[in-house]
Amino acid sequence: MSASIRSGPWLLVLTLSAANPAPTPSQVKTTPSPPSGGAPMRIQLRLSKAQLVTSEDLDVRIALSNESATPLEFPDPFRHSDQSLTYTVTGPEYPKGHAVNHYTVIEREGTQPLGGVVAPQVRLGSGRVLESVVPLQEWVPIRQPGRYRVTARLQAAGIDAVSAPIEFEVMTGRPGPASVGVMMGGGPYSGMRAVWLQHLGGHTLLMQAVFVDETDEEGRGVSRRTAQALGTVEPEATDALSPWTNDAPGGEAVTWTLWRQGASILALAPPATPQAPFRFDLEAPPARLVRPPLETHAGELFIPLLGAGALDLRLIRFQSSQDATHVTPGKEVSRVKLAATPVAARATLQPAAVGNGISIILVSEAPGGLDIQHVRATRAGRLRRTASAFIRGLRGLPGSEPGVWIDEAGRVHAALVAASLKNPNQVVLVEVRFRSDGRLEAPARQTALTELPAAARAAVARHCHQPHSDRAGGVNWAILLEDGRLVHAGQREEPVSTTRPVAVPLELLDMLQGTFILTTDPVLGPTFEWI
């Protein structure tokens, strides 16, 4: 993997002033010629930050300066075939030092051919600078907290130069529950964004990471591409959520991040910051934020929630754009009264081609069974109850979240994992379909699944949202048992154990070659496992 060239502000660690702007990336530029004599090449390292958490990326910007009076020629040290520029990290995880270069990283990952590849020659004039960026956490993963030091050494064509060391601190913490946002209809390569709260002693960081499904015949699975701290939020912050969106890939809509602080709903999008976010204050803390928040291609963020007491459904809206200059307050656009307290809920958006209509599925317990209610919102956000289906003989499972999906014709498909009233260990998949006008299209369909060997802690049903998949609209499900094992669709053996603890609430995604569930690494935070 070759290093990428990026722009942005940088913390200057060595010889340049921190007030000076960062050099233009991927350019060879002129600096005043140094006095004759001395080392012909100078290496400078700079960090994007001096402190980071273990789940966060760290980029190192490297600058090679020709300090001699004559041009220097050497193999391009930023090509993936290069072995001349070596980076050494020393610290608690690597007490004796760990050295890597472009070649060793590509050889380790096996992502590009290396045989017979020769790096082209670079001619660096006197006083000129060659720059690039190294994704240090990707090249040298660091999981242990502590103080670290990195140096770089270039050995090529008579050049032997070593940088001064730069230091950084890695902190650990406790990752909270993660929420995964998906671009509905965006295709398998559009990526998924996870957000979570990382608790570090007396303060809390709002974190995000981007995942991409790289599953192929070698089975690499869903991998993390980037991870960063968005900023510090109040220690009592909860409910970090990433929206689902119907925005098209490459669309111009803003990207929203949501969290809650007591009775306040807070959101981040341009031009807001974690210290000055979009905000809507409720009279009291809500009983529940209905997952997921919904982001439209028009730059809106809709947050369905159950008010205090859980007997009314409310819809909050924020709006912004890429060129917005002011942070505007959120607005409650609608609410409806509920006859019973929901035990489960889920929201979704129509495909962008159909509009920005919202559908919310509410599940409540009733005498002798379950009531599945469909609430729709118009493009303006006005809520109205449209239809309900009574499912006799079933009860809700603890922490069971329904699935809901709207097809291209506007039909709403809902699915729920429930338990039999007669035999609580017998679980059943319930599927209900509503017409494009919101009314019930056909009687609910029930499918007996399995008999649980232990009590359930949480459950989830999800539709495949990949528009071009032959599984589009198909339903997957999973049940987390109290002992930490997992029961899921397609399983022929005993309940399985994942490598890391399964994240709750459950996040189940149907991707290119299979189904993935979100788990929590105690050091790195959210990760996906293939089930």
Half-sphere exposure in the Cβ direction for 340 (13 Å, CA): 15
Range scoring the smallest mean pLDDT among 150-154, 218-222, 394-398: 218-222
Task: State yes or no: cis peptide before 505, omega within 30 of 0.
Answer: yes
Reported as a single tens digit per residue, the pLDDT across 156-189 is 888 999 999 999 999 988 999 999 998 876 655 5
Q: Looking at residue 249, what is its pLDDT?
A: 59
H or E element: which one contains 104? helix 102-109
Given a contact cutoff of 8 angstroms between Cβ atoms, the answer to whether 498 and 529 are in contact is yes
Reported as a single tens digit per residue, the pLDDT across 276-299 is 999 999 999 999 999 999 998 889
Confidence of residue 17 (pLDDT cuts 50, 70, 90): very low
Across 201-330, the runs of DSSP E, i.e. the strands, are 203-213, 222-233, 238-241, 244-245, 257-261, 264-268, 278-281, 288-289, 294-295, 300-306, 312-319
What percent of the chain stands above pLDDT 90? 64
Range scoring the smallest mean pLDDT among 111-115, 125-129, 406-410, 467-471: 111-115
Token pair in block for residue 76: 């391009």
Reported as a single tens digit per residue, the pLDDT across 433-470 is 999 888 899 899 999 999 999 999 999 999 987 666 66
Q: Looking at residue 102, what is its pLDDT?
A: 85
Burial tier of 512 (Cβ tally within 10 Å: 0-12, 13-18, 19+): middle
Half-sphere exposure in the Cβ direction for 477 (13 Å, CA): 26
Confidence of residue 117 (pLDDT cuts 50, 70, 90): low
Pairing mode, strands 515-521 and 525-530: antiparallel
Q: Looking at residue 260, what is its pLDDT?
A: 98
Q: Looking at residue 409, what is its pLDDT?
A: 86
Q: Looking at residue 213, what is its pLDDT?
A: 78
Residue with structure tokens 């990949």? 466
Reported as a single tens digit per residue, the pLDDT across 226-276 is 889 999 999 999 999 999 998 665 666 789 999 999 999 999 999 999 999
Q: Looking at residue 382, what is its pLDDT?
A: 85
CA 471 to the chain's CA centroid: 24
Residue with structure tokens 């005498």? 367
Domain ranges of the chain: 29-171, 345-497
Range scoring the smallest mean pLDDT among 367-371, 422-426, 464-468: 464-468
| Residues pairing with 428 in the sheet | 418, 448
Phi–psi pair at 104, nearest 5 degrees: -65, -35
Q: Looking at residue 157, what is its pLDDT?
A: 81
Instruction: For residues 330-346, give the mean pLDDT.
Output: 95
Q: Looking at residue 2, what is its pLDDT?
A: 36
Residue 363 has pLDDT above 90, yes or no: yes
| Highest mean pLDDT pick, 15-29, 91-105, 180-194 | 91-105
Please tell me the distance from the alpha carbon of residue 342 to that of residue 360, in angstroms, as a whole number: 12
Please tell me the distance from the alpha carbon of residue 374 to that of residue 362, in angstroms, as a whole number: 7
Given a contact cutoff of 8 angstroms between Cβ atoms, the answer to whether 42 and 135 are in contact is no
Confidence of residue 110 (pLDDT cuts 50, 70, 90): low
Confidence of residue 15 (pLDDT cuts 50, 70, 90): very low
Confidence of residue 214 (pLDDT cuts 50, 70, 90): confident
Measured CA to CA in angstroms, residue 293 lies from 12, 104, 267, 408, 496 at distances of 38, 42, 11, 21, 31
Given a contact cutoff of 8 angstroms between Cβ atoms, the answer to whether 106 and 80 are in contact is yes
Sheet strands side by side (includes 41-47):
29-30, 128-135, 59-66, 41-47
Instruction: For residues 94-122, give the mean pLDDT.
Output: 79
Q: Looking at residue 7, what is its pLDDT?
A: 30
pLDDT averaged over every residue in the chain: 86
Angle among Cα 31, 33, 36 to the nearest 5 degrees reads 155
Please tell me the distance from the alpha carbon of residue 430 to that of residue 397, in angstroms, as a whole number: 12
Pairing mode, strands 128-135 and 146-156: unpaired
CATH number of 29-171: 2.60.40.3880
